Chain A
Amino acid sequence: MAEQRSHITATDVAKVARLARLDIDAETLVHFTAQLSRVLEHFGDIDALDLVGVDPMTQPYPLVNVLRDDVEQPTLDTAEVLSAAPEAEDHRFRVPPIIGLEG
Chain B
Amino acid sequence: MPQSASEIARRVRTGETTARSVVEEHLAVISRRDGEINAFNLVTGDSALRAADGIDARVARGEDPGPLAGVPVAVKDNLCTRGVPTTCSSRMLEGWHPPYDATVVQRLSTAGAIMVGKTNLDEFAMGSSTENSAFGPTRNPVDTSRVPGGSSGGSAAAVAAGMASVSLGSDTGGSIRQPAAMCGVVGVKPTYGLVSRLGLVAFASSLDQIGPFAGSVADAALVLEVIAGHDPGDSTSIPQPAPSLVAEVGRGVDGLRIGRVVDLPGGAEPEVEARLEEAFAALVAAGARIVDVALPSFAYALTAYYLLAPAEASSNLARYDGVRYGMRVAAADTNAMYAATRAAGFGDEVKRRIMLGTYALSAGYYDAYYGKALKVRRLIADDFARAYSSCDAILMPTSPVVAFPFGDKVDDPMSMYLCDIYTIPTNLAGHPAMSVPFGLGAHGMPVGIQVLAPTLAESTMFRVGGALEAAGRGA
Binding site for B on A (CB under 8 A): 1, 4-5, 8, 12-13, 16-24, 28, 32, 35-36, 38-39, 42-43, 45-46, 49, 51, 54-61, 63, 66, 68, 76-77, 80-81, 84-87, 93, 95-102
Contacts and interface: CB of A to CB of B under 8 A. Distances in A.
Interface in B316-356: 318, 321-328, 330-340, 342-343, 346, 348, 351-352, 354-356
B414 A39 contact: yes
Measured as residues with beta carbon below 8 angstroms from the partner, the interface class of chain B is 35 or more
B303 interface: yes
7 contacts: A21-B339, A36-B356, A46-B300, A68-B232, A93-B323, A93-B324, A98-B333
Given A12-B359, A39-B413, A96 B337 contact: yes
A32 B352 contact: yes
Nearest to B320: A21
Contacts of A23: 339-340, 342-343
B381 to A, nearest CB: 6
Interface stretch (B57-65, B96-104, B121-129): B96-104
B378 interface: yes
B193 interface: yes
A63 B323 contact: no
A23 B343 CA distance: 5
B325 A84 contact: yes
B430 A22 contact: no
Nearest to A31: B348
Contact of B374 (A22, A56, A61): A56
Interface of B: 96-97, 99-100, 192-193, 206, 232, 235-236, 238, 297, 299-300, 302-304, 306-307, 314, 318, 321-328, 330-340, 342-343, 346, 348, 351-352, 354-356, 358-359, 362, 365, 368-369, 371-379, 381, 413-414, 417, 428-431, 455
A90 to B, nearest CB: 15
A77 to B, nearest CB: 7
A8 B414 CA distance: 16
Given A45-B303, A46-B304, A84-B97, A51 B334 contact: no
Given A24-B343, A49-B300, A98-B334, A84 B372 contact: no
B66 to A, nearest CB: 24
Contact of A85 (B314, B323, B429): B323
Nearest to A82: B324
Nearest to B96: A84
Contact of A43 (B346, B362, B369): B369
B388 to A, nearest CB: 14
Contacts of A17: 355
Contacts, number: 167
**Contact residues of B: prevailing secondary structure:** helix
A46 B303 contact: yes
A38 B324 contact: no
Contact of A22 (B304, B342, B377): B342
Given A16-B359, A20-B355, A39-B417, A57 B378 contact: yes
A65 B78 CA distance: 26
B135 to A, nearest CB: 20
A63 B352 CA distance: 29
Given A51-B375, A60-B193, A84-B324, 11 more contacts: A16-B359, A46-B303, A46-B373, A49-B375, A56-B377, A59-B430, A61-B236, A77-B99, A85-B325, A96-B334, A96-B336
A61 B339 CA distance: 35
A35 B351 CA distance: 12
B339 A80 contact: no
A49 B373 CA distance: 11
A102 B336 contact: yes
Nearest to A23: B343
Contact of B323 (A28, A35, A95, A101): A95
Contacts of A13: 355
Contact of B354 (A22, A28, A35, A39): A22
B359 A86 contact: no
B377 A57 contact: yes
A28 B349 CA distance: 12
A84 B342 contact: no
A8 B333 contact: no
Contacts of A59: 206, 236, 430
Contacts of B365: 4
Given A49-B300, A85-B323, A19 B358 contact: yes
Nearest to B365: A4
A85 B99 CA distance: 12
A53 B351 CA distance: 34
A16 B362 contact: yes
A45 B414 CA distance: 13
A66 B238 CA distance: 11
Nearest to A21: B338
Contacts of B352: 32, 35-36
